[in-house]
Chain A
Amino acid sequence: MVDPTPMIPLPVVEPARSDVRQWRSLAHLDGDPAFAELTREEFLPGASDAPGESSRRRFLQILGASMAMAGLVGCRKPVEHVMPFAQRPEDLVPGIPVRFATGMPLRGVLHPVLVKSHDGRPTKVEGNALHPASSGATGVFEQASILSLYDPDRSQHVLRDGGRATWEEFVAFCGQLHSGAAGRRLAVLSAETNSPTVRALRAELQEQYGALTWVTYRPEGDDHAALGMQAAFGQPYRVQYDFASAEVIVSLDADFLGPTARNVAQATHSFAQGRRLRGANDEMSRLYVAESAYSVTGSLADHRKRMRSSEIPELAARLAARLGITTDGAGDQNDPFVTAMADDLLAAGSRGIVLAGDTQPAAVHALCSAINAQLGSIGSVVTLLDTGEEMVASQAEELAGLAGAMRAGEVDALLLLGVNPLYDAPQALDFAAAMSQVADTVHVGLHVDETASVAAWHVPQTHYLEAWGDGRAYGGTQSVVQPLIAPLYDAAHSAIEVLQLLTTGASRPGFELVRETWRPLLTGDFEKAWRKVLHDGFLPGSAYPQASAPAVAGFNMPAPSSEASLELVFRPDPTVLCGSFANNAWCQELPDPITKIVWDNVAVMSPQTAEELGVTTKYRKGRYYVDVITLSANGHGVDLPVWIVPGHADGSIAVNLGYGRAIATEREERLTPFWDTDDKTDVYGNGSVCTGVGQNVAVLRDSVAGPVIGDVQVEKTGEAYRIITTQDHGILDVEARPLIRMATLSEYRDNPGFALDAEAPTPGSDEKTSFEAYPTLWENSHPAKEHALRDSSYYRNQWGMTIDLNSCTGCGACIVACQAENNIQVVGKEEIGNGRELHWLRVDRYFVTSGDTRLTGDPQMVLQPVPCQHCENAPCEAVCPVAATVHSPDGTNQMIYNRCIGTRYCANNCPYKVRRFNFFNWAKTIPETVQMAQNPNVSVRSRGVMEKCSFCIQRVRDAQKNARLEKRALYTDEVQTACQQSCAAEAITFGDLNDPNSAVSRERANSRNYTMLAELNIKPRVSYLARVRNPNEALEEAS
């Protein structure tokens, strides 16, 4: 029997501090009327329109036509084949996934990973938790690398002068080249690598050829950190920071937590450790950031100073002067920011860290080392690693030297290994002209890219999951890269195979080459040791040695900043790097962590700079139309749309590299009959994935590819451009509801329960009691109380999740991990603009300001990942007419795709806006290779079906199945969701709420624990741990 339930008025929440405002975008802050509607509506306006230019009427016509046609094809039963092995490899059971430890080489660092293979197809990348330098987490690019393997636009054939050739012909060519090697001058332009095998082959090449020029090429320009270390210590030491033990961290334009950082997973893990608050008495580190563009690191700063990148050397000098390291460059000694940093650093002593970013010249890096040495933190929280590298020369000089030699005809053969200088080398070098002066040019790469199209030979390169190789982690630990799959294309060969071909003139498999290198590295029985290395994924004890007590040599003071009124800063893009992930649809679709822009690059500036330049971003009915400007520098001009980010430094424009790529593809444009509109929504439909996405800003760089240039002209073109950003998507009424709760450390210590205090009192009580224990509206008739659910064996586990806002950096690795695990389809730029994106997990980015400091002030930033909240009293379940979204006995809310008829009532009733609808049949149009990336344990959804975060129920069911077979209960914390596993900050905790020992139960007991929209009494299973900042009170008062 159902008891009549009395009407309970919904509680009204009074904002605790009315002067603090949280907002998504300037239009939101200004109270644009469109936002009221956006907040109310389920999807963006236009989400229900048909694709392309057509109207709803046309859509219905098409619908009718396709229904009629569907009747004709639906009658036949499809014949499926089972293809067993002819000879089954031992220990390989069909249907049971196998994990292999390998390593992903990326920008000169090997990332230890564990890759899951389903019946021979690699489907998912995780971190290798066994590896000493890995916590088992990954960054965005490790997760996305699976899709790069299956990239349908990968180069498939050896090309000679643009025409198809065979590998055998290339072998013959290399034989000829090698036969006269002693008299030949060979140049190699190689991507960064630290592979021991490449190093060995390089030494051999040196012996074989008359002259060898080897240039390591970084698209983003000089390695300022290495040059700085060289200046400070006489050796290009690699620096490793222990953020976990640090008390004070000062970042000078260093985005060390951003996705583009070289060891982001390790740094994020370490940083989050130092900020974890299990209780009010825990200590947390303090982070100062001075930077031009708002970055992931800046969003976590306790104190952030926005200033132009070209002014930061001066700040470094003032800080050094304040700390008594130098006497010159003192400048204004009364800057409270510098004083506060200096005082804090002095107090922290050997637990202080100062680090500089890639945009800063080598001198600033050297100065940071001097400061760290002075503080005594070198050897304590700053470790110098001796990579064994000889002195690094300036890449700009080496590259210019190479180009000069090529032009002068002093190079007979040029090998380009995984690099694309025609796209990103400084224009002043005119690399194309230089290449034309070289008799034999060989390009080895994953794509037929800009450089491949002018090289005499192009050899398709293997993906790291297809070929043998080796490398060293950031800390030096050596690993073998073992393939999980044979090359998808027969012509593809690895870099070491091509190098070996040039060395000896004969082709040998990479497997033998790697084993040869490793023979002297392993002691004892080689086969046994080799198998152990392959199994574990690394060679223990092979890390770089620590540099012993190095003395800081003299350093040059940073040159004073230029007086130009406007600076232009180039950065690798946080989602596509310098273009190497441009053809990866997951990366293109991943919103930029700060601007939330997808499938584009923009010129980012502050509101003030925009005003001075007379450019605007207009917001009309949920759409952004922005001015386009022509940026001119170094004799080149690029048209870029403008984007305004509050908190950006005035007088600075930030642009991201990696866009405007030209990759040739062999796929033909997909054309479908008139009734089939799927081609309109297909990101793979027309040309390569990156076709027409963004502009190449690398051409604006000066002759040394410096990250900051001062001499830039800006002109408005008068055109308007529609920018697609997800910053306002899924917007909730943040003004009226405390979705984000934050406090300073001292406030937290005074009142550990501040997060719950923001909540409305529960009705019928004046006390602030939690809604957690409040009776539900259907206390006696809740589905979870039904016998059918209680009698299930699943009932004993009740799943829940906590997300620590204090740890989350918003890097986006979780989004890509979720996409890879759950077969989430890519919808493309236009469709995201229509609000049809499918990401199950979104990371909401809020600016936080207090008082009236709208444009001139420095807004803080908070990031909040929002998956499905798995409400116990889920509003979606109550409105589904076909019971396609139901509660499971283990307390999760599940979508049953085969029942869903697409009414979308559930999404309309979801207060968190986490439900995603398949407006089109995205999966139908994905190319065959991309189909191989799909997880066989998760249904691929079709058109007309709702979907949303499932708490990775397939992983839960898998674990339960295994426990059942092993006749045991689930272990504590046995199941990890994909987002949790990828999160380096360990911000996401998932587990069994019924198990008091589970991590999630402990996290929930944290005093910062709160749930979003608790006052609706829907009892979400996802809770958040409130954000705590640790500001310097002296500085807080001064400002």
Chain B
Amino acid sequence: MPQIFPRKVNVLPHISLGGTLAGGLVAILVVWYYFSPEYTDVGYAPEQPVPYSHRLHVDALGMDCRYCHSAVEVADISNIPATETCMNCHSVVKPQSLALLPVRESFASGESIPWVKVHQLPDYAQFSHAVHVNVGVGCESCHGRIDQMEVVQQVEPLSMGWCLECHRQPELYLREPDDVTEMGYVQPEDFVERNLDRIRLEGIQPPTNCSACHY
């Protein structure tokens, strides 16, 4: 009786073993990258109900972040401004603009403008803007060059590993609290030494334990 399987079939186990290993590796890499916030979240730029341009307001007009996001220094959340804040200027600037219709409608009716949240942290991560801003973490460090964005998009992964990069070595990222809103900030030559001094002096110890943020 002839052999059911010819001799050359003997390589099949090797191929399948190698294939499984390679496939497994590929699967791990695929999950590693494509399931990570790097891939899923970075670049998220939803369309907003009003085509608000940060480039125009911040870069061209030179407005400070805190004119609109006024609670950033006192509250956990950095507020999206009330319609009223927009109308401070837009009652005289471009009062007929079609793009600003939702703003005027909201102001007249008292209904909120349904802005779409761009930077979403999971509910189990507690984050305070006030603490970070007051200690000298620049807006730019997490939100990127907002002043260059027509449409706001997420540029950093906001993952835990990314948070810890700074929490473990704050001296590489901190800036003077006065400079937090500056965009395109260039650190001075000796910034690491200066930051280390501040860290010592002000007792800046970013926590790295779980329950600092997760509760």
B-binding residues in A (CB < 8 A): 77, 79-88, 93-96, 788-789, 791-794, 886, 888-889, 892, 894, 896-899, 937-940, 950, 953-954, 957, 961, 964-965
**Is B112 part of the binding interface, using a Cβ–Cβ cutoff of 8 Å?**
yes
Q: Given that A84-B81, A889-B207 are contacting pairs, would A896 and B214 also be in contact in the complex, using a CB cutoff of 8 Å?
A: yes
Closest residue of A by beta carbon distance from B68: A84
- The complex places the Cα of A253 from the Cα of B20 at a distance, in Å, of 77
Q: Given that A83-B114, A85-B112, A939-B214 are contacting pairs, would A792 and B75 also be in contact in the complex, using a CB cutoff of 8 Å?
A: no
Q: How many A-B residue pairs have CB under 8 A?
A: 135
Partner among B41, B79, B120, B208 whose Cβ is within 8 Å of the Cβ of A80: B120
**Is B44 part of the binding interface, using a Cβ–Cβ cutoff of 8 Å?**
yes
CB neighbours (8 Å) of A79 from chain B are: 46, 116-117
Stretch from B58-66, B128-136, B181-189 at the A interface: B128-136
Interface string of B98-130 (1 = CB under 8 A from A): 000000001101111111110010111110101
Partner among A87, A96, A896 whose Cβ is within 8 Å of the Cβ of B84: A87
CB neighbours (8 Å) of B107 from chain A are: 86-87
Partner among A81, A792, A899, A938 whose Cβ is within 8 Å of the Cβ of B205: A792
Chain A nearest CB from B42 CB (Å) reads: 12
Chain A nearest CB from B53 CB (Å) reads: 18
Contact B130 A965 (CB under 8 A): yes
CB neighbours (8 Å) of B126 from chain A are: 937, 954, 957
- The complex places the Cα of A794 from the Cα of B115 at a distance, in Å, of 37
**Is B22 part of the binding interface, using a Cβ–Cβ cutoff of 8 Å?**
no
Chain B nearest CB from A755 CB (Å) reads: 31
Contact A87 B205 (CB under 8 A): no
CB neighbours (8 Å) of B30 from chain A are: none
Mind listing 26 A-B residue pairs with CB under 8 Å? A77-B40, A79-B117, A80-B120, A81-B114, A82-B114, A83-B112, A83-B115, A85-B84, A86-B110, A86-B111, A86-B113, A87-B84, A94-B79, A96-B75, A96-B76, A788-B208, A792-B209, A888-B209, A888-B212, A898-B125, A937-B126, A939-B123, A939-B124, A939-B214, A953-B211, A957-B211
CB neighbours (8 Å) of A791 from chain B are: 205
Q: How many chain B residues have a CB neighbour from A under 8 Å?
A: 47
Chain B nearest CB from A114 CB (Å) reads: 21
CB neighbours (8 Å) of B135 from chain A are: 964
Q: Given that A80-B117, A81-B114 are contacting pairs, would A793 and B205 also be in contact in the complex, using a CB cutoff of 8 Å?
A: yes
- The complex places the Cα of A670 from the Cα of B116 at a distance, in Å, of 31
Contact B79 A86 (CB under 8 A): no
**Is B13 part of the binding interface, using a Cβ–Cβ cutoff of 8 Å?**
no
From residue 119 to 163 of chain B, which have CB atoms closer than 8 A to chain A? 120, 122-126, 128, 130-131, 134-135
Majority SS at the chain A contact face: loop
- The complex places the Cα of A34 from the Cα of B113 at a distance, in Å, of 61
Closest residue of B by beta carbon distance from A967: B202
Partner among A88, A93, A899 whose Cβ is within 8 Å of the Cβ of B210: A899
Contact A84 B207 (CB under 8 A): no
Contact B112 A86 (CB under 8 A): yes
Majority SS at the chain B contact face: loop
Chain A nearest CB from B134 CB (Å) reads: 6
**Is B27 part of the binding interface, using a Cβ–Cβ cutoff of 8 Å?**
no
Contact B114 A88 (CB under 8 A): no
Closest residue of A by beta carbon distance from B129: A95
CB neighbours (8 Å) of B115 from chain A are: 81-84
Q: Which of B123, B135, B203, B210 has the most CB of A within 10 A?
A: B210
**Is B74 part of the binding interface, using a Cβ–Cβ cutoff of 8 Å?**
yes
Contact A964 B210 (CB under 8 A): no
Q: Given that A898-B122, A939-B124, A939-B215 are contacting pairs, would A84 and B210 also be in contact in the complex, using a CB cutoff of 8 Å?
A: no
Closest residue of A by beta carbon distance from B168: A788
Q: Which of B80, B107, B109, B209 has the most CB of A within 10 A?
A: B209
Chain B nearest CB from A959 CB (Å) reads: 13
Partner among A82, A87, A96, A897 whose Cβ is within 8 Å of the Cβ of B110: A87
Q: Given that A84-B112, A88-B84, A899-B210 are contacting pairs, would A93 and B71 also be in contact in the complex, using a CB cutoff of 8 Å?
A: yes
Contact B75 A898 (CB under 8 A): no
- The complex places the Cα of A939 from the Cα of B125 at a distance, in Å, of 8
Contact A896 B211 (CB under 8 A): yes
- The complex places the Cα of A409 from the Cα of B84 at a distance, in Å, of 60
Contact A961 B112 (CB under 8 A): no
CB neighbours (8 Å) of A77 from chain B are: 40-41, 44
CB neighbours (8 Å) of B81 from chain A are: 84
Contact B79 A84 (CB under 8 A): yes
**Is B77 part of the binding interface, using a Cβ–Cβ cutoff of 8 Å?**
yes
Contact A95 B76 (CB under 8 A): yes
Contact B74 A84 (CB under 8 A): no
**Is B82 part of the binding interface, using a Cβ–Cβ cutoff of 8 Å?**
yes
Q: Given that A939-B214, A939-B215 are contacting pairs, would A86 and B116 also be in contact in the complex, using a CB cutoff of 8 Å?
A: no
CB neighbours (8 Å) of A892 from chain B are: 211
Contact B79 A964 (CB under 8 A): no
- The complex places the Cα of A88 from the Cα of B82 at a distance, in Å, of 6
Contact A964 B131 (CB under 8 A): yes
Chain B nearest CB from A790 CB (Å) reads: 11
A sample of 7 more A-B contacts (CB under 8 A), given A789-B209, A899-B214, is A79-B116, A81-B116, A82-B114, A86-B111, A87-B84, A897-B214, A964-B134
- The complex places the Cα of A93 from the Cα of B79 at a distance, in Å, of 8
Chain A nearest CB from B174 CB (Å) reads: 15
Contact B215 A950 (CB under 8 A): yes
- The complex places the Cα of A961 from the Cα of B205 at a distance, in Å, of 13
Q: Which of A86, A88, A886 has the most CB of B within 10 A?
A: A86
Contact A80 B116 (CB under 8 A): yes
The 10 closest A-B pairs by CB, nearest first: A95-B77, A83-B112, A894-B211, A95-B75, A88-B82, A80-B117, A86-B83, A793-B205, A939-B124, A888-B211
- The complex places the Cα of A95 from the Cα of B40 at a distance, in Å, of 27
- The complex places the Cα of A644 from the Cα of B40 at a distance, in Å, of 60
CB neighbours (8 Å) of B109 from chain A are: 86
Contact A794 B212 (CB under 8 A): yes
Q: Given that A950-B215, A957-B215 are contacting pairs, would A94 and B75 also be in contact in the complex, using a CB cutoff of 8 Å?
A: yes
- The complex places the Cα of A899 from the Cα of B214 at a distance, in Å, of 10
Contact B77 A792 (CB under 8 A): no
Partner among B46, B117, B209, B214 whose Cβ is within 8 Å of the Cβ of A889: B209
Q: Given that A894-B211, A965-B134 are contacting pairs, would A93 and B112 also be in contact in the complex, using a CB cutoff of 8 Å?
A: no
Contact A886 B209 (CB under 8 A): yes
- The complex places the Cα of A95 from the Cα of B76 at a distance, in Å, of 6
CB neighbours (8 Å) of A93 from chain B are: 71, 74-75, 79
Chain B nearest CB from A225 CB (Å) reads: 46
Chain B nearest CB from A944 CB (Å) reads: 14
- The complex places the Cα of A965 from the Cα of B120 at a distance, in Å, of 24
Contact A792 B208 (CB under 8 A): yes
CB neighbours (8 Å) of B210 from chain A are: 886, 888, 894, 896, 899
Contact A953 B83 (CB under 8 A): no
Contact A961 B130 (CB under 8 A): yes
CB neighbours (8 Å) of B114 from chain A are: 81-83
Chain A nearest CB from B141 CB (Å) reads: 18
- The complex places the Cα of A954 from the Cα of B134 at a distance, in Å, of 20
Chain A nearest CB from B99 CB (Å) reads: 18
Chain B nearest CB from A753 CB (Å) reads: 35
CB neighbours (8 Å) of B203 from chain A are: 793
Q: Given that A94-B71, A96-B74 are contacting pairs, would A84 and B83 also be in contact in the complex, using a CB cutoff of 8 Å?
A: yes
- The complex places the Cα of A88 from the Cα of B71 at a distance, in Å, of 12
- The complex places the Cα of A94 from the Cα of B130 at a distance, in Å, of 13
Chain A nearest CB from B165 CB (Å) reads: 16
Partner among A86, A88, A894, A898 whose Cβ is within 8 Å of the Cβ of B106: A86
CB neighbours (8 Å) of B106 from chain A are: 86
CB neighbours (8 Å) of A81 from chain B are: 114-117
- The complex places the Cα of A896 from the Cα of B208 at a distance, in Å, of 13
CB neighbours (8 Å) of B83 from chain A are: 84-87
CB neighbours (8 Å) of A794 from chain B are: 207, 209, 212
- The complex places the Cα of A79 from the Cα of B110 at a distance, in Å, of 23
CB neighbours (8 Å) of B82 from chain A are: 84-88
Chain B nearest CB from A1000 CB (Å) reads: 19
Contact B215 A938 (CB under 8 A): yes
- The complex places the Cα of A879 from the Cα of B175 at a distance, in Å, of 42
